[in-house]
Structure 1
Amino acid sequence: MLPARFVPATTAALAVLVLGGCARTIGVEVAPDAADPKCAEVMLAVPDELGTDLPKLKTDAQATAAWGEPGAAVTMRCGVEQVGPAADCQHVDSGDGTAVDWIVTTDDAGTWSFVTYGRDPAVEVIVPPAVTEDHSTSFIADLADAVTQVPATKECQ
């Protein structure tokens, strides 16, 4: 048994260890125009959860967000370069009348990329295969309130 004087210090150290273990931070590369003031508005409006089971995580870069689990997280960056019109432009309605146009691509590994179309600064969302194994990408509509903080100047054709 520990002497009484060691109990508070041990308890405090254990609390720091336990609470520190709960903090999950995801490394996300900062976008070139992350310092744009509109990105701050976007970040303040991101949801605490995507879908019903992808909780928001801490990130280590300005104008970024992440949801899910470390190693299998959906990541978002504001301030990426705008992309031009493309055949893979999709109009996504959030169900509350808010809509966002996204350029949607997938790579050979199965990673989905969504980049807003017609908004400056642009927002990019990356969805890794580890997420799409158990989820559809329909949660992209959950980001409409945040993304529409940047006004649209063009729409998908």
Structure 2
Amino acid sequence: MPTTRTVRRTAALTLGAGTAALLSGCAPAVPVDAAPYATDPLCADVVLTTPDSLGEGLDRVDTTSQATTAWGEPSAAVVLRCGVEPLGPTTERCVTVEAPDGTSVDWVVVADDPADEQGSDWTFTTYGRVPAVEVRVPADVASARSTSFVDALGAAVSRAPAERSCVGLDAF
């Protein structure tokens, strides 16, 4: 038969574990709409192999949708969505980003406000990969640091095979 002390200790441990679980469930998640092709099995590979951090201050945070991940503060997070509509031929700026491990990915880079690139959000969308991957970088992040952290996504994004490449590439 358990003693009063054992019962109290068990109750305290149970309460502590329940409180920790409850508090961890309160961490804000970044609201993200799932991409149209988020159910592509390759998207799971892409998202599961993304890094836990994109550098100082850009640690992984929870999101609300399948085939997405994010880094940074939930109010101004860098957001990756896998399964966006693949891009067709475009006249937008296309760059090849090479990671230190030699992996290279073609990205179409667009400022949401071309008239104010310094204060604009940025969208990086893979070119020639299916499923396509989109990375949204808020202006707060882009203005505070270089977006060169995109190279850290190369190994994960390369899980989606390259079918085409950009013409007239810029180096990044």
Q: Shorter-chain TM-score: which interval?
A: 0.7 to 0.9
Alignment counterpart, residue 60 of structure 2, candidates 53, 56, 59: 56
Alignment counterpart, residue 110 of structure 2, candidates 105, 115, 125: 105
Provide the residue aligned with 1:91 in structure 2: 96
My pick for the range that moved more, 140-149 or 23-32, is 23-32
Q: What are the Cα deviations for residues 113-141 of structure 1, in whole angstroms up to 9, with x where unaligned?
A: 00000001100000011211311110111
Provide the residue aligned with 2:49 in structure 1: 45
Q: TM-score under structure 2 normalisation?
A: 0.80
Q: RMSD over aligned Cα, in angstroms?
A: 2.2
Q: Calculate percent identity across the aligned residue pairs.
A: 49
The offset of 1:14, in angstroms, is 4.7
**Partner AA of 1:29 in structure 2:** D
Residue pair 1:66, 1:74 contacting (<8 A) in 2 also: yes
Q: TM-score under structure 1 normalisation?
A: 0.87
Alignment counterpart, residue 74 of structure 2, candidates 50, 70, 74: 70
Which entry has the higher C-alpha Rg, 1 or 2? 2
Q: Judging by fraction of residues, say which structure has more strand.
A: 1
Structure 2: gaps of 5 or more residues: 114-118, 168-172
Provide the residue aligned with 2:142 in structure 1: 132
Structure 1: gaps of 5 or more residues: none
Q: Work out the CA distance in 2 between the residues paired with 1:127 and 1:14.
A: 34
Q: Work out the CA distance in 1 between the residues paired with 2:23 and 2:34.
A: 29
Q: Work out the CA distance in 2 between the residues paired with 1:14 and 1:122.
A: 40
Q: Work out the CA distance in 1 between the residues paired with 2:15 and 2:107.
A: 50
SS in 1 for 2:59: strand
